[in-house]
Amino acid sequence: MMPPPPLRLHLLFRSETLIPLLRQRPSCDAPHCRTRRYISVRASAAQLAAADVSTAQQPALELGLEAAAAGFVTGKRKATEVAHAFWRNIVQKGDTVVDATCGNGNDTLALLKMVADETGRGRVYGMDIQDSAIENTSSFLKMAVDDEHQRGLVKLFPICHSRMEEIVPKDAPVRLVAFNLGYLPGGDKTVITVPRTTELALRAASRILSSGGLISVLVYIGHPGGRDELDVVESFSSSLPVDTWVTCKLQMLNRPVSPVLVLLNKK
């Protein structure tokens, strides 16, 4: 068995970019700012693998939108694969993107692959209210990405996603903000995102998103409170003005606990 994932990378990120920002951060309603995606800070590589974090490196994640959409309808592809295919369709090398719920780092890595190129202009701003999630994401990135310069394009922050405006530079046009709401299947079902801060985070995302950008929200609904959170996401999405937003959802009908993919496109 491999040793526990080192904290060095995480601390490196923090020492470079996070601590100065956190010094000036206002108080956050921490009790409501809970993340769904975390595994123990002591998780081994085997545990990370068991938690399926390694799938981010599989060819399936490079699926085109056509294959993803057709596969979703026929039950062969998951909503998360459809989400990633939509992201790839809109995100370009050099873009600034946000992972609002880092969890174990799957989406963070996928986003990094989409924006990273030799120019080094791309940025992934990732956040999670739980230190352990940030640490796991750091560890996962170190395992998955050999190029230290490329890893440096990811900026991780242990804060609530409702505070994303504090960490994303104001002059950076944000092409994508990605959310994964709910809890990690197989994980601790008491550790979930909650409607109030999710709504604040969606509002923040809608403000920082640039024209032509996308907010992607994958809502897990199979746990207590999951439907309430979906209601909040749908209500917010439905309220956005039609002249500047196109919002839609993709939902399974005969699999009532399957996650719902909500996509908000800013014109």
Residues that bind a copy of itself (CB under 8 A): 64-66, 69-70, 72-75, 86, 89-90, 214, 234, 237-242, 245-256, 262-263, 265, 267
Judged by beta carbon, residue 139 or residue 206, the one nearer a copy of itself is 206
136-159 burial, b at 16+ Cβ within 10 Å, e below that, comes to: bbbbbbbbbbeeeebbbbbbbbbb
Q: Strand pairing partners for 99?
A: 126, 178
Minimum CB–partner distance for residue 267 and a copy of itself (Å): 7
Minimum CB–partner distance for residue 245 and a copy of itself (Å): 6
Minimum CB–partner distance for residue 250 and a copy of itself (Å): 5
Judged by beta carbon, residue 120 or residue 173, the one nearer a copy of itself is 173
Judged by beta carbon, residue 162 or residue 265, the one nearer a copy of itself is 265
Judged by beta carbon, residue 63 or residue 124, the one nearer a copy of itself is 63
What is the rounded distance in angstroms from the CA atom of residue 9 to the CA atom of residue 135?
Answer: 8
Structure tokens at 218: 């994958």
Nearest alpha-carbon partner for 106 in 179, 40, 54: 54
Minimum CB–partner distance for residue 175 and a copy of itself (Å): 13
Judged by beta carbon, residue 55 or residue 251, the one nearer a copy of itself is 251
Q: Is the dihedral of CA 255, 199, 56, 43 positive or negative?
A: negative
Look at the block and give the residue holding tokens 């956040």.
Answer: 127
Judged by beta carbon, residue 76 or residue 149, the one nearer a copy of itself is 76
Contact predicate 89/65, CB 8 Å = yes
What is the rounded distance in angstroms from the CA atom of residue 199 to the CA atom of residue 57?
Answer: 31
Judged by beta carbon, residue 44 or residue 258, the one nearer a copy of itself is 258
Minimum CB–partner distance for residue 79 and a copy of itself (Å): 9
What is the rounded distance in angstroms from the CA atom of residue 177 to the CA atom of residue 263?
Answer: 10
Judged by beta carbon, residue 156 or residue 214, the one nearer a copy of itself is 214
What is the rounded distance in angstroms from the CA atom of residue 106 to the CA atom of residue 218?
Answer: 13
What is the rounded distance in angstroms from the CA atom of residue 241 to the CA atom of residue 23?
Answer: 36
209 in helix, strand or coil? strand
Minimum CB–partner distance for residue 249 and a copy of itself (Å): 6
97 in helix, strand or coil? strand
Nearest alpha-carbon partner for 127 in 75, 185, 193: 193
